Amino acid sequence: MIEFPPGLILILGALLVPFLRGPLRAIWMLALPVAAFAVLYSLPEGDHFAISAFGQQLELLRVDGLSKVFGYVFLVAIFLGVIYALHVRAVEEHVSGLIYAGAAIGAVFAGDLVTLFVYWELTAISSVFLILTRRTPEALAASMRYLIIQVGSGVLLLAGLIVIWHETGSIAFEHIGIESAGGVLILLAFGIKAAFPLLHNWLQDAYPQSTPTGTVLLSAFTTKLAIYALARGYAGTEELIWIGAIMTVFPIFFAVIENDLRRVLVYSLNNQLGFMVVGVGIGTELALNGAAAHAVTHILYKALLFMSIGAVLHRTGTALASELGGLFKSMPVTAVFCAIGSASIAAVPLFSGFVSKSMILSAAAHEGLYGVWLTMLFASAGVLVYSGIKVPYFAFFAEDSGKRPQEAPMNMLVAMALAAALCIGIGVWPSALFAILPFDVDYVPYTDSHVLSQVQLLVFSVLAFVVLLRSGLYPKQLRSINLDTDWFYLRLGRSFLQFATRAAENMHSDAYDLVVRRAKRFVEQLYRHHGPHGIIARTWPTGSMVLWVAILLVTYLALYFIDIF
Amino acid sequence: MSDDQHKSGAPAQKAARKGNKIKLLWALYALCTVLVLLDLPIHRHAETGFDGNFGFYGFYGFIASVVLVLAARYVLRPIVKRPEGYYDD
């Protein structure tokens, strides 16, 4: 048994990657997550790796049920991500991907808030390279916005942790709650990374700009780390139920009219996070198990979907629905994998989403939260229309675009095959997933009543899609962009800056007018009267002085005589 | 455009494809009917007070999808749609 943080294995191992070449590099990168997985598997529950710093004990390896689930699935995700990206030559992408995964895993096992903060910021800094390496001007701009927001989240976390440290004297990362100001600050930090409504738009802004391989990793770690952190610090916080419920619904309207298929997937990622946030907010054992299980299945099917659309982008150079269609003829295997991912996200029975999402819905119903339950059911029906059908339909079927790209590279197909096998495996044998959940599972997903309900819901959603498509009511996929909250900084913010610049310029010239010009005029006047040629400085002839004195005397005499009479 | 030649196949092929499409549609309608009727023999463990009603899930799924798509097209799109390059100036 090696008691060493699995995250650090990836981070330290990544530093060696630039010095390796060819097959050796591939083997090394694949061995890292496998080694970390073996180490994690052998670790019993408890705190294993502590260091002392500034008078505090930093716990780098707190192992319990909750952290172990996320640790396992993160390691599976980076393993799949490495295979999927094996053809990529840019070494910086491999290094940053491994460090990013290592940081996310390190954060999951952080037993205190300071360690969490360090890894939290490391995920931000390492992941930005996955966007930067796309090397387009849009990607550069998006990556800088992404970095500002991610680091901002870390700064809020730091502020909250300082408040909590000051108040309680402890930096342990346990239940936090929103009773103290520090708790609210940290919730905001987590909420940014979990893409709460109105804090969400960095996700849709940055992820679709990343490289095809980078998006697969991005979709797995940052947001699910936030879900883990919420489950650890805010389980049972009622506000989260409502935030999560809104989150399941509002992104799907955007997804219906979005043209960029990777952005459609990000909107649906946002909506799936909503289910997990609801689970955390309910906070019962069933709900928390559901949130953790959904994080696991979600990471796998979302990675699969991003891989399949990433393969399309890799081969055709576009992921716009309006430019694609009919690709199943030349990319049939990718099309099948995409369909498996879609079936999983739509929670079709025998696919992974079915077993995990239903736990959260059942937990809501058990607590009598019928409004939330109906909202999530609405989102479940919707997910089929906007993501489950839309993505494979417009990429691989629909109207033939005439594009005949090659099938995806072998390494991409292998990664997709593994992810697809896991999606089906969990759907068919959910007990394997249930065994690693934080609490004992007393839940049977496959009852005839439950299966029938879900099949009815889905088939009638398909019927709705078909009816809408045939009647021409389904919105056309148009080359356009849709405003979201990023309008506030992309447009309003810029307009404000322009306005502020102009106002500052005007103020400067007004102030110049007011002070400098007036002062100048005053000096000029002074100079005119008192200067060498001024009236005051003139030399007066003695004669004229005598004349003035005489005039004065005469006037005086005249007035004197007038007075006598 | 160059991809036009792929869109139109031989007329016979086109007719066959259309026939398949119609068969698929009828299969879907039949499936929907069977699923709703299955509500009768299968006893439902209702999660809430109202989801045990006959045809609840089918009805809700259909209405939810229609509302979602129509609201996105006729309410959201007119508000948020902008030409590509809106932010580029």
The model's pLDDT over A112-124, given as tens digits with 9 standing for 90+, comes to 999 999 999 999 9
The Cα-based distances of A114 to A53, A58, A118, A149 in angstroms read 10, 7, 6, 20
The answer to whether residue B36 is domain-embedded is yes
Using one digit for the tens of pLDDT, what is the confidence trace for B29-86?
999 988 888 888 877 777 777 777 888 899 999 999 999 999 999 999 888 888 888 8
Q: Name the nearest CA neighbour of A95 among A13, A163, A187, A166.
A: A13
Q: Which residues of A touch B61 (CB under 8 A)?
A: 381, 456-461, 464
Q: What per-residue confidence (pLDDT) applies to A57?
A: 87
Q: Is the pLDDT of residue A538 over 90?
A: no
Q: What per-residue confidence (pLDDT) applies to A459?
A: 93
Structural domain that includes position B42: 9-80
Q: What per-residue confidence (pLDDT) applies to B2?
A: 40
Q: What per-residue confidence (pLDDT) applies to B89?
A: 60
| A425-454 residues touching B, CB cutoff 8 A | 447-450, 452-454
Any idea what the Cα angle at residue A207 is, between residues A91 and A224, rounded to 5°?
95
CB contact under 8 A, B4 and A402: yes
Q: What per-residue confidence (pLDDT) applies to A217?
A: 96
Determine phi and psi for A172, rounding to 5 degrees. Answer: -60, 140
Number of residue pairs across A and B with CB atoms under 8 Å? Answer: 161
B31–chain A nearest CA distance, Å: 8
The answer to whether residue B4 is domain-embedded is no
Distance between CA atoms of residues A30 and A415, nearest Å: 12
Q: What per-residue confidence (pLDDT) applies to A422?
A: 97
Closest by Cβ to B83, choosing from A399, A473, A480: A480
Any idea what the Cα angle at residue A524 is, between residues A522 and A526, rounded to 5°?
70
A367–chain B nearest CA distance, Å: 10
CB contact under 8 A, A449 and B36: no
Q: Is the pLDDT of residue A531 over 60?
A: yes
Distance between CA atoms of residues A358 and A371, nearest Å: 16
The answer to whether residue B28 is domain-embedded is yes
Q: Please name the residue of chain A whose CA is at the shortest distance from the CA of residue B1.
A: A402
The answer to whether residue B86 is domain-embedded is no
Using one digit for the tens of pLDDT, what is the confidence trace for A210-232?
999 999 999 999 999 999 999 99
CB contact under 8 A, A473 and B69: yes
Single-letter amino acid code for the residue at A169: G
Q: Which residues of B touch A474 (CB under 8 A)?
A: 69, 73
Q: Please name the residue of chain B whose CA is at the shortest distance from the CA of residue A249.
A: B68
Question: pLDDT over 90 for what percent of chain A?
Answer: 76
How many domains does one find in chain B? 1
The Cα-based distances of A392 to A80, A328, A330, B5, B6 in angstroms read 21, 9, 14, 23, 20
Q: How confident is the model at residue B5 (pLDDT cuts 50, 70, 90)?
A: very low
Q: Is the pLDDT of residue B6 over 70?
A: no
Q: What per-residue confidence (pLDDT) applies to A177?
A: 92
Mean pLDDT rounded to a whole number for chain A: 92
CB contact under 8 A, A254 and B45: no
Using one digit for the tens of pLDDT, what is the confidence trace for A130-147?
999 999 999 999 999 999
Whether the CB of B88 is below 8 Å from some CB of chain A: the reply is: no
The answer to whether residue B69 is domain-embedded is yes
The answer to whether residue B21 is domain-embedded is yes
Q: Is the pLDDT of residue A341 over 70?
A: yes
User: What number is the ipTM of this complex?
Assistant: 0.84
Using one digit for the tens of pLDDT, what is the confidence trace for A391-440?
999 999 888 888 899 999 999 999 999 999 999 999 999 999 999 999 99
Using one digit for the tens of pLDDT, what is the confidence trace for A279-306?
999 999 999 999 999 999 999 999 999 9
| A176-205 residues touching B, CB cutoff 8 A | none
The answer to whether residue B87 is domain-embedded is no
Task: Specify the higher pLDDT residue, B41 or A536.
Answer: B41
The answer to whether residue B59 is domain-embedded is yes
Q: Please name the residue of chain A whose CA is at the shortest distance from the CA of residue B59.
A: A460
Single-letter amino acid code for the residue at A172: A
A171-176: average pLDDT = 93
Q: How confident is the model at residue A512 (pLDDT cuts 50, 70, 90)?
A: confident
Task: Specify the higher pLDDT residue, A333 or B42.
Answer: A333
Q: How confident is the model at residue B10 (pLDDT cuts 50, 70, 90)?
A: low
- Asked which of A35-39, A131-135, A312-316, A539-543 is least confident by mean pLDDT, the reply is A539-543
Distance between CA atoms of residues A284 and A367, nearest Å: 9
CB contact under 8 A, B45 and A481: no
A441–chain B nearest CA distance, Å: 18
